[in-house]
C-alpha cells in the first residue's frame, strides 16, 4: 500500500454508509472513491463491502480492516502532530483524556491556561472513565489522561504521576430534608437514591459494605455535570471529592452532608501516559500545567 489515503477513504465510506456522501466528505468524485476502495480490496485480497442498491454494509473482513484502519490513522495523526511540534508549540494537536472528577475542575483550569499560552495547538479532550481512557491511551488515540488511578497502579504499560488527594464528600441540594439532622446515618441515606460515577472496585466495595448493598448506586453516570444537575433538582444524594464541589458549596448551590466518619474516602487522581512513549512538547506543557493547578488547591 503506497499511502494511507485508501484507508481514509474506506473509513469515510464505513462511517457514511453511502458512496456519494463519503465521496463528498473526502473531496473525491464517486467513481474515484469507488476505484480507491477497489484498489484497497485488491491490495488486501478480500472483499470489504456488501454493496446494496442504496447503501453499503461491511463484511467480516471489512469490520476487521476498519478497526485497524482507525488505529493506523490515529497513529499517523499523532506522528504528524509530534513532528509539527518538535521545534515549537505554534501548531499541532494534543489528544487528551479526563475522568469525570478531574474534568469538573482541574483539567478545565489547566486547559484554559494551555490554550492562552499555545493558541495554535488544537486540543481534543475525551471524557471517559479510567477503563476506557487506558484503552484509548494504549491504542494511541490519546497521549495522556487524568483519572482515578486506584486500579491502574502497578500497570507496567503506564507511567503514572499521582496528584493531591481530596476528601470524599456526600452532597445534596441546599434544602434537602437530610440537612435538618445533626448527623446522617446509613439508614437515613438509604431512603434516598445515591448517584455517582463508575466507582473503583475498592470504593464500591467499601460503600457497598456500609450500605448493605452490593450495588449502592441508584444512578450511575460518568458525566459529573449531569450528576450535579440531578442533585440540584431532586432529593438524590451524590458523592464527589471536595475539590470539585467546593465552589458550588461555598456559593450556596450545593450543600455537604456530614455522614459517619467511616463513610469517608479520599480521591486518587493521577496523570497517566504510555510508559513506552515519550510525550510531545504539547503534552509535556499540559502535564506541567496540570501539576501546577493541582498544587494550587489545598490537599485534604
**pLDDT above 50 for 2:** no
The CA-based angle 135-102-291, given to 5 degrees, is 100
244 and 212 housed in the same domain? yes
274 and 256 housed in the same domain? no
235 and 174 housed in the same domain? yes
Tell me what the mean pLDDT of segment 11-28 comes to. 88
Instruction: Give SS3 for 36.
Output: helix
pLDDT band at 189 (very low <50, low <70, confident <90, very high): confident
* Number of separate domains in the chain: 3
More confident residue, 18 or 78: 18
- CATH classification of the domain holding 199: 3.40.190.10
25 and 153 housed in the same domain? no
pLDDT band at 275 (very low <50, low <70, confident <90, very high): very high
Q: Which three cell numbers stand for residue 114?
A: 494551555
Least confident of 5-9, 195-199, 284-288: 195-199
185 and 245 housed in the same domain? yes
Q: What is the pLDDT of residues 264-274, one digit of tens each?
A: 577 889 999 99
> Which residue bears the cell 450500605?
211
Q: For residue 266, give the DSSP letter.
A: B
Tell me what the mean pLDDT of segment 29-34 comes to. 91
d(CA 286, CA 271): 10
> What local confidence, expressed as pLDDT, does residue 58 receive?
92
250 and 131 housed in the same domain? no
73 and 103 housed in the same domain? no
**Mean pLDDT across the chain, nearest whole number?**
85
More confident residue, 209 or 163: 163
Q: Are 281 and 89 in contact (CB under 8 A)?
A: yes
d(CA 136, CA 259): 37
Percent of the chain at pLDDT exceeding 90 = 45
> What local confidence, expressed as pLDDT, does residue 251 receive?
93
What is the domain range of residue 161?
A: 89-165+268-296
Least confident of 17-26, 75-84, 235-244: 75-84
63 and 105 housed in the same domain? no
196 and 259 housed in the same domain? yes
- The b/e string for 174-201 (b: 16+ C-beta within 10 A; e otherwise) is eebebeeeeebeeeebeebbbbbbbbbe
Q: How far apart are the first and last CA of the chain?
A: 55
Amino acid at each position: 500500500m503506497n499511502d494511507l489515503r485508501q484507508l481514509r477513504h474506506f473509513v469515510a465510506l464505513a462511517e457514511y454508509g453511502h458512496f456519494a456522501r463519503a465521496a463528498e466528505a473526502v473531496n473525491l468524485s464517486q467513481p474515484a472513491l469507488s476505484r480507491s476502495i477497489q484498489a484497497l480490496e485488491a491490495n488486501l485480497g478480500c472483499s470489504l463491502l456488501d454493496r446494496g442498491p442504496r447503501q453499503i454494509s461491511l463484511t467480516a473482513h471489512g469490520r476487521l480492516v476498519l478497526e485497524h484502519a482507525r488505529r493506523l490513522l490515529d497513529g499517523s495523526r499523532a506522528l504528524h502532530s509530534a513532528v509539527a511540534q518538535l521545534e515549537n508549540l505554534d501548531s499541532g494537536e494534543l489528544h487528551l483524556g479526563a475522568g469525570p472528577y478531574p474534568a469538573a475542575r482541574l483539567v478545565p483550569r489547566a486547559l484554559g491556561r494551555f490554550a492562552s499560552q499555545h493558541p495554535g495547538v488544537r486540543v481534543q479532550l475525551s471524557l471517559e472513565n479510567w477503563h476506557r481512557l487506558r484503552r484509548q491511551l494504549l491504542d494511541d488515540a490519546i497521549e495522556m489522561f487524568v483519572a482515578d488511578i486506584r486500579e491502574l497502579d502497578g500497570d507496567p504499560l503506564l507511567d503514572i504521576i499521582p496528584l493531591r488527594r481530596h476528601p470524599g464528600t456526600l452532597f445534596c441540594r441546599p434544602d434537602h430534608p437530610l440537612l435538618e439532622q445533626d448527623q446522617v446515618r446509613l439508614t437515613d441515606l438509604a431512603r434516598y437514591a445515591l448517584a455517582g460515577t463508575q466507582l473503583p472496585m475498592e470504593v464500591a466495595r467499601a460503600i457497598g459494605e456500609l450500605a448493605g448493598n452490593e450495588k449502592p448506586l441508584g444512578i450511575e453516570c460518568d458525566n459529573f455535570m449531569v450528576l450535579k444537575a440531578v442533585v440540584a433538582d431532586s432529593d438524590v444524594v451524590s458523592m464527589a471529592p471536595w475539590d470539585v464541589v467546593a465552589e458550588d458549596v461555598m456559593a450556596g448551590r450545593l450543600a455537604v452532608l456530614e455522614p459517619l466518619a467511616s463513610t469517608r474516602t479520599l480521591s486518587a487522581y493521577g496523570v497517566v501516559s504510555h510508559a513506552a512513549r515519550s510525550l510531545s512538547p504539547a503534552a509535556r506543557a499540559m502535564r506541567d500545567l496540570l501539576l501546577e493547578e493541582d498544587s494550587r488547591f489545598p490537599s485534604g
